[in-house]
């Protein structure tokens, strides 16, 4: 029997997760839920996804817009083996009682508080920890990217200290109300940013400091990374280690890819859906070592890097595959890996 998956919230993350679920041979998308009729609701119907009203009082709005509904979110959650909550930050916490009422395991996104769930999840970092959990949080785009990077470094060399400066996009392309418009903001001004403590939900014993800056861009986040390792590896060995990971892409020297804009163009030229980049993009030329200190730059596509993680979290929660099997299946079906 295929895993019956529901997606509550069909926006930036939800529509991508829904598409990814339909590609999985062991999953079936039984429906998606929206709070209001809009072009994304129309897209769900066009894609053949059963559409449910997330707010019962708004059913009439869908009817007036000529958008067919399959029912209410309660019916969708009741029929599901697992629900992916892809609602805006804070709404997942409000939905928790709904999932508990139907005894349906739920996955939440990184905007929710870690205290809301049984475990925070990253496929590369702690896949097995989610097995059998009722409430699992797939960590944020930045935390996902950092976890993918730090896990192999920790395993291969040991990490004494990680120091990360995150240059964060002001908003996603469709978020016209976000900013700054013409400024560079320490965000937050106080240290650390929330990303370091968030990484510690995956690696509790890791010593990590993070700082954040917010800039007027919509394309991708960029990380300036300095990791003090417990050994002194050769630079080429580190590059090879990172190149061997399935969800990291080492941008080749001489490729002409000098920033996030060129990375998005690279993805579009390779017919990636929505120009999504599911992988950490690490500039190979930036990977360098000075004694036990490792330095590099990486870019993280905030709209999409958590999507394969959500797919893996579904299997982890239900115990239908181990980490290696799930990641390989997800990568193959989605086309992860340039």
Catalytically annotated residues: 141
DSSP classification of residue 270: T
130, two tokens: 């989610």
Size (the chain), residues: 338
Judged by phi (left if over 0) then psi (alpha if -120 to 50, else beta), residue 182 lies in: beta
Nearest to 144 by CA among 244, 280, 325: 280
What's the rounded Cα separation, in Å, for the pair 172 and 232? 39
At residue 19, what are phi and psi to the nearest 5 degrees?
-60, -40
How do strand 27-34 and strand 51-53 relate by DSSP bridges? parallel
> DSSP assignment of 197-235, as one string?
HHHTTTSTT--EEEEEEEES--S-EEEEEEEEESS---H
Inter-CA distances, 76 with 36, 45, 70, 207, Å:
16, 15, 9, 42
């Amino acid at each position: 029997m295929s895993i019956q998956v529901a997606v509550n919230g069909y926006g930036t993350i939800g529509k991508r997760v829904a598409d990814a679920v339909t590609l999985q041979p062991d999953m079936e998308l039984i429906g998606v839920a929206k709070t209001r009729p809009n072009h994304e609701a129309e897209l769900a119907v066009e894609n053949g996804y059963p559409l449910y009203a997330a707010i019962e009082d708004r059913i009439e709005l869908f009817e007036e817009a000529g958008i067919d509904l399959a029912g209410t979110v309660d019916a969708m959650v009741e029929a599901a083996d697992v629900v992916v909550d892809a609602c805006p930050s804070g709404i997942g916490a409000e939905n928790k009682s709904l999932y508990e009422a139907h005894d349906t395991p739920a996955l939440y996104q990184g905007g929710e508080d870690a205290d809301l769930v049984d475990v925070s999840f990253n496929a590369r970092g702690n896949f097995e920890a989610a097995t059998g959990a009722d409430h699992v949080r797939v960590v944020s785009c930045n935390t996902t990217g950092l976890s993918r990077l730090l896990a192999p470094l920790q395993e291969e060399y040991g990490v004494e200290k990680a120091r990360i400066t995150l240059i964060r996009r002001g908003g996603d392309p469709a978020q016209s109300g976000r900013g700054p418009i013409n400024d560079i903001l320490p965000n937050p001004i106080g240290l650390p940013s929330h990303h370091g403590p968030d990484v510690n939900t995956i690696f509790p014993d890791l010593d990590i400091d993070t700082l954040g800056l917010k800039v007027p861009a919509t394309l991708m986040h960029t990380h300036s990374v300095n990791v003090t390792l417990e050994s002194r590896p050769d630079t080429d060995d580190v590059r090879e280690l990172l190149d061997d990971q399935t969800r990291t892409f080492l941008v080749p020297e001489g490729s002409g890819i000098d920033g996030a804009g060129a990375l998005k163009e690279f993805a579009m030229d390779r017919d990636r859906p929505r120009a999504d980049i599911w992988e950490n993009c690490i500039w190979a030329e930036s990977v360098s070592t000075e004694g036990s200190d490792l330095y590099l730059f990486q870019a993280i596509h905030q709209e999409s890097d958590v999507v394969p993680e959500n797919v893996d979290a579904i299997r982890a929660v239900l115990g239908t595959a181990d980490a290696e099997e799930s990641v390989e299946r997800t990568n193959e079906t989605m086309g992860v890996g340039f």
